[in-house]
Structure formats: structure tokens, C-alpha cells
């Protein structure tokens, strides 16, 4: 059977690193509060004029280098973002142009913090069906642009960045020993809009708007939703907390990550945690964490990796793959 495998990862962070102490000079907060409640110690913030498509293009170039393929070999780009350069065209088409690609298709996916899982799942359908040969799947955000810097309950939580993977189709044996994406599970429930949203948009008030979040409410739902789709991934593949090699969760809050891992009996030494260095980078957080652990040698070819995310909408999802 045909499967889709990841053949390269890449990521990019803006140069400007902002610590909790830096923030505490501008916002009524403290390093102690942020560290204790979230695990975050620093985040990167895009420079003036630095756009989501620029971060995405850098991450994509690094993923292409890691895969050892030329941009011209890509015939699909699926980019997850909630902070596009413009309302339209899609940020993916800007990345396509930056990379000099003039064939195939490029489009954006909007699922906020779950964006990378939704984008990977979408691209996998194209590649596994044969509709595309090789795809770039990118999560890229400049959340600093939609933060209300007077709202200390949200502005300390997020950061900017981008991560990317290159995927390709191949003929696999059709067993759970195969390399590649072995299962994906996507969910959403629009009744939760008010708990996490941006108070602007072209058809509502013609503004880009600011992020609004009832953090405690989101927290309350997060662990249950995350564990549900992980249980689905385990049931679909026969893998378990004991047999996966790595858990690469969405990086929103160290307490949510630890609670989810503990609920599922996933040992903490199998958990990739980057929230302390990146903050919550929304759709970029999983590919950023994945690339970090691939490049530092923890995640290697043949390892079984579980990813999950939950965010605005609500949307949530999981995927399990062998690298």
C-alpha cells in the first residue's frame, strides 16, 4: 500500500529572544508567575517587518536541505497559520514564490494551534492518493502581532516561529512496521469559540483583532481532548504509551503537557518539551519541537512519534508516524 513518510524537518526562530524578565519590565508580571504557571522562560519575537511567510520560507529551506531535495521537486505546499501575511492571498503562495516554485498547488489551513496536525493530515491525503508527489507542510506564526500587550493573562504566553517537514509517497508493506504516517485523527467543536478567539476579521469589523482567551476554561478542556485523540491513535495502530519512542505535543503549557503524559502513562523522558524556550507558537510549535529533537539526535530514523494539539475552535487532533 501507498504511505506518506517524512523525509526532512526544518525550523526557524526570529533572532529577537525575549525572556520573562524582559517582559516583566513592560508588563505587570513576573518570571516566577510565568515559569510556575506555564513553564515558559523565553520566546522569540519577529522583528518589525518580519512576516509569517519569511519565517515559513526559512523553515522550509532548512527542511528541504535536510531532505536533500530541490524546491522544484515539491508539488504541494500546505501551510498552517492563524497569522497570515495578508487576508489573501494565502501565505503558502508567498512561500511558493519565495522558493521559486511555479507548478503544483499551495494553500493555507486555519486550525490555530492544531494547524500543523490538520495540515499534515490534509497533505498526507494528497500524497498517499498520488495527487501530489512531494509536499512541504509548514506551521508558521507571528502571534506577537495579534497579542494585546496590555493583557497580561495572554501576552506572556505566545511566541513567533516556524517549522516545516517534507513528505513524500512510497510503496509500503502495509504493516505497522512501515515508515511514515500510520494514523491521523482530527476533531473540532465550534461551540467553544468564545473561550479562545481573535476579536477581529474582514467580515466582522475589518480589523486584524487581538487574541482573547479564557485560559482556565481552555485548560479545563485541554487534557481530556488531547487524551481522547491519543487513545484513538493507539487504538488504530496498536501502539501504546510503552511502545512509542517519542511524544511531541503542542507546546502551550508545561502543566498541560505533563498532565496529558501522566494521564496516558507516557514516561516524561519520552516527551519533547520546548515550551520553555519558544512559548506557545501555535501552529509552529509541533514542527519546531520535532525539528529540535531531530537535530539534537534524540529522534532518529525508525522511531515512532506521536504528535497532538488542541486549540481555538476548539480544534484538536493527533497523528502517529514512524520517522
Q: List, as one string, the DSSP characters of 90-115.
A: -HHHHHHHHTT--SSEEEEE--GGGH
Q: Which residue, chain included where needed, has cell 508567575? A: 33
Span from 30-38, 92-100, 203-211, 240-248 in contact with ligand UT7 (CB under 6 A): 30-38
The answer to whether residue 250 is catalytic is yes
Write down the least CB distance from residue 218 to ligand UT7, Å: 4
Among 67, 223, 252, 320, interactor with ligand UT7 by CB under 6 A: 252
Among 218, 229, 230, 286, interactor with ligand UT7 by CB under 6 A: 218
Among 41, 73, 219, 298, interactor with ligand UT7 by CB under 6 A: 219
**Gap between the Cα atoms of 116 and 290, Å rounded:** 11
Taking CB under 6 A as the criterion, which residues in 126-155 touch ligand UT7? 152-153
Among the listed residues 113, 192, 253, 278, the single catalytic one is 113
The answer to whether residue 155 is catalytic is no
CB 11 within 8 Å of CB 36: no
Q: What is the DSSP letter of 47?
A: P
The answer to whether residue 280 is catalytic is yes
> 314 preceded by cis ω (within 30°)?
yes
Using rule CB under 6 A, residue 38 touches ligand UT7: yes
Write down the least CB distance from residue 253 to ligand UT7, Å: 4
Judged by beta carbon, residue 18 or residue 222, the one nearer ligand UT7 is 222
Residue 258: φ, ψ to 5°: -65, -45
Q: What is the DSSP letter of 271?
A: B
Q: List, as one string, the DSSP characters of 158-207.
A: B-EEEEEEEEEEEE--SSTTSSEEEEEEEEE-GGGGGGEEES--TTTTSS
Judged by beta carbon, residue 154 or residue 179, the one nearer ligand UT7 is 154
Using rule CB under 6 A, residue 253 touches ligand UT7: yes
Residues annotated as catalytic are 113, 250, 280
Amino acid at each position: 500500500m501507498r504511505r506518506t513518510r517524512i523525509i526532512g524537518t526544518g525550523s526557524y526562530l526570529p533572532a529577537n529572544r525575549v525572556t520573562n524578565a524582559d517582559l516583566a519590565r513592560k508588563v505587570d508580571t513576573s518570571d516566577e508567575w510565568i515559569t510556575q504557571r506555564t513553564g515558559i522562560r523565553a520566546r522569540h519575537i519577529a522583528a518589525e517587518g518580519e512576516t509569517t511567510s519569511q519565517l515559513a520560507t526559512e523553515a522550509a529551506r532548512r527542511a528541504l536541505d535536510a531532505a536533500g531535495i530541490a524546491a522544484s521537486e515539491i508539488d504541494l505546499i500546505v501551510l498552517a497559520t492563524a497569522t497570515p501575511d495578508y487576508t489573501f492571498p494565502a501565505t503558502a503562495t508567498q512561500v511558493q514564490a519565495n522558493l521559486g516554485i511555479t507548478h503544483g498547488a499551495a494553500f493555507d489551513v486555519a486550525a490555530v494551534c492544531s494547524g500543523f496536525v490538520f495540515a499534515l493530515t490534509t497533505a498526507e491525503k494528497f500524497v498517499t492518493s498520488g495527487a501530489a508527489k512531494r509536499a512541504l507542510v509548514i506551521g508558521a506564526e507571528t502571534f506577537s502581532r495579534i497579542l494585546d500587550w496590555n493583557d497580561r493573562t495572554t501576552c506572556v504566553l505566545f511566541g513567533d516561529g516556524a517549522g516545516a517537514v517534507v513528505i513524500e509517497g512510497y510503496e509500503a508493506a502495509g504493516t505497522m512496521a512501515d515508515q511514515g504516517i500510520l494514523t491521523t485523527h482530527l476533531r473540532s467543536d465550534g461551540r467553544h469559540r468564545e473561550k479562545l478567539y481573535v476579536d477581529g476579521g474582514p467580515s466582522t469589523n475589518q480589523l486584524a483583532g487581538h487574541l482573547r482567551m479564557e485560559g482556565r476554561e481552555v485548560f479545563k478542556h485541554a487534557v481530556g481532548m488531547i487524551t481522547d485523540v491519543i487513545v484513538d491513535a493507539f487504538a488504530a495502530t496498536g501502539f501504546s504509551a510503552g511502545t512509542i519512542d517519542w511524544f511531541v505535543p503542542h507546546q502551550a503549557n508545561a502543566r498541560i503537557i505533563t498532565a496529558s503524559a501522566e494521564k496516558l502513562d507516557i514516561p516524561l523522558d519520552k516527551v519533547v518539551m520546548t515550551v520553555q524556550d519558544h512559548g506557545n507558537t501555535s501552529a509552529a510549535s509541533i514542527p519546531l519541537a520535532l525539528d529540535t529533537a531531530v537535530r539534537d539526535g534524540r529522534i532518529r530514523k525508525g522511531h515512532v512519534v506521536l504528535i497532538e494539539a488542541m486549540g481555538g475552535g476548539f480544534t484538536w487532533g493527533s497523528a502517529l508516524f514512524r520517522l
